[in-house]
Amino acid sequence: MKHIFWLLLTFTLVACQPESANTNVLLLDGDQSISLQADSLTPAAILAQAGLMLDPADVILFHGAILPEDFSLPPGATYILQIRRAHTLTLVTPDGQTTLHSAAASLGQALAQTGLQLYAADYIEPPLETPLNTDLTVTYRPAQDLIVSVDGQTVSMKSSAQTVGQALAQGGIALLGLDKSLPVESDPLPANGQIKIYRVSETVTLEQKSIPFSKKYEYSAELAVGTQKILQPGEVGFSVSRVRVRYEDGQEVSRTTEAETVLRAPQDSLVSLGTQVTVQTLAVPGGQIQYWRAVQMYATSYSPCRSGISKCSYGTASGIPVKQGVVAMTRALFGQLVGTQVYVPGYGVGVIGDVGGGFPDGRLWIDLGYSDEDWQNWGGMVTVYFLAPAPASIPAALQ
């Protein structure tokens, strides 16, 4: 508007001058200058007289202001008219590419003529102050609104960066050491504008761990069955591990053992187990028994219709019918002792003739058989006497 005011003022002053016979015009078209006496007083006619053509986006300037082609110049004066030729702008944006033509003096003026709203955080290359004296390819990335969650607060910012890391750097938000972002630094800016910063730290500690020793056994005919002799005591070893713990925003997220060094190896113990069978005599109701081993076992009881299955079962693993006097043990003991007689106080003499599942915690176990008519409920520890003669091979569990 200021340029138009001064243009009109100039023409008013020219019109007030005494008329002369000639209207002289100097046309400046780039490096070319043309002087002529105008036959007509409109810029369009003057250009035609000079043999010059204007493209649609070209402009005529007088004292820096755009002069309409159909404007009538006051006669009898000298004018200097400048032709500014339009240049092609190729505008590359994230949404695609646009071509436009402008005779503006600078890139910023050309973009302003298009109505494009620019912000300080937008990316423009080349800069807005670049003179528009040649065709240009312009890269434009509008700034995106971002919300960064960091250190327990949210930070709002605008950025036209191409990656998350670049945007954080522009916003003065530093990722230090092991810190990380979501999305990661190399990712493009997220469509929802949300960026989360995790402050990451690690600690390394040394942890000591004990290493248990193993027991090794050897058999001795000089010791009675059921007796043991420690030949070499065991010694617990220990090791030291380097443990790396990672924290994100103060919360532990991982724990990794990176190296373990054995500082003292464990020393196995050596135990001698007796294999010498010694028959002993015990007075019981109704007489005496001779036994070669007495051990504590957990006792339960069963009958054909109380065997823990959905139907009654009258047979046993040995073929003897289920009744009082038939007892069950785990498969390992049954396999070595089937047919062996035992004595249980309160139950009497029984023969190992059936297989059971055992007790859940793995302790020594016996299941006392009954018929359905005389069944009695058992549940507790009892002493089981294994009656002579002893088997040729003593099970390890009874040594």
Q: What pLDDT score does 19 carry?
A: 44
Among 60, 84, 108, which residue terminates a domain? 84
Q: What is the pLDDT of residue 336?
A: 92
| Number of domains comprising the chain | 5
Range of the domain at 365: 278-398
pTM of the model: 0.52
Inter-CA distances, 293 with 75, 107, 235, 398, Å: 142, 106, 31, 8
Q: What is the pLDDT of residue 18?
A: 44
* 346 and 251 in a common domain: no
How confident is the model at residue 287, as a pLDDT?
A: 92
CATH number at residue 224: 2.20.230.10
Q: Are residues 210 and 290 in the same domain?
A: no
Query: What would the two tokens of residue 271 be?
Result: 């135990």
Task: Using alpha carbons, select from 364, 362, 367, 365 the residue that is nearest to residue 351.
Answer: 367
The pLDDT assigned to 21 comes to 55
Q: What is the pLDDT of residue 137?
A: 96
Among residues 108, 123, 141, the one where a domain terminates is: 141
**Of 36, 42, 30, whose CA–CA distance to 68 is shortest?**
42
The parts of the chain modelled with pLDDT lower than 70 are 1-21
- The enclosing domain of 92 has a CATH number of 3.10.20.30
So what's the pLDDT on residue 22? 84
Give yes or no: residues 372 and 288 share one domain: yes
